[in-house]
């Protein structure tokens, strides 16, 4: 699948759109992009480069982060793999709630992102759909 290049003179240079593609769904069978659900206090890394049309040159991704079936209130924090977690959340939620939020997240040196589950107890499922990527000029 070939990405669509933003026309010259656009506000964002080096941004490439993708047909929306599901990268992660922890409701699926256990695996690199599937289950299990994230447990309270757990962080999990997902290598995105090489999947869904994201090339090795990508430095950030535009994604839709969804939380579903959380057993407790909490938040998810998404950040570049290998970097320290920021002091802000990417998505907040209540028990039993399904919520989504868009984000642009820088990729770590290995082409991955880390998702951290900020709950006091229990688990939650995470879904990540990508719809674009950025390449630094």
Mind listing the domains of the chain with CATH numbers? 16-131 (2.60.120)
d(CA 41, CA 32) in angstroms, rounded, equals 19
pTM (two decimals):
0.88
pLDDT of residue 136: 83
Average pLDDT, the chain: 91
pLDDT, tens digit (0-9, with 9 covering 90-100), for 10-20:
334 589 999 99
Q: Which two tokens stand for residue 14?
A: 């080096």
CA dihedral over 18, 98, 90, 118, signed as positive or negative: negative
How much of the chain, in percent, has pLDDT values that exceed 90? 88
Q: What is the pLDDT of residues 42-97, one digit of tens each?
A: 999 999 999 999 999 999 999 999 999 999 999 999 999 999 999 999 999 999 99
């Amino acid at each position: 699948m070939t990405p669509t290049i933003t026309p010259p003179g656009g506000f964002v240079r080096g941004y490439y759109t993708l047909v929306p593609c599901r990268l992660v769904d922890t409701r699926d069978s256990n695996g690199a992009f599937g289950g299990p659900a994230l447990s309270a206090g757990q962080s999990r890394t997902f290598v995105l480069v090489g999947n869904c049309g994201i090339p090795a040159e990508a430095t950030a991704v535009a994604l839709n982060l969804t939380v579903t079936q959380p057993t407790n209130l909490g938040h998810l924090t998404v950040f570049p793999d290998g970097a320290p977690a920021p002091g802000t959340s990417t998505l907040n939620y209540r028990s039993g709630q399904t919520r989504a939020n868009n984000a642009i997240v820088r990729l770590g040196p290995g082409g991955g992102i880390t998702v951290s589950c900020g709950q006091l107890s229990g688990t939650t499922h995470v879904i990540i759909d990508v719809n674009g990527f950025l390449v630094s000029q």
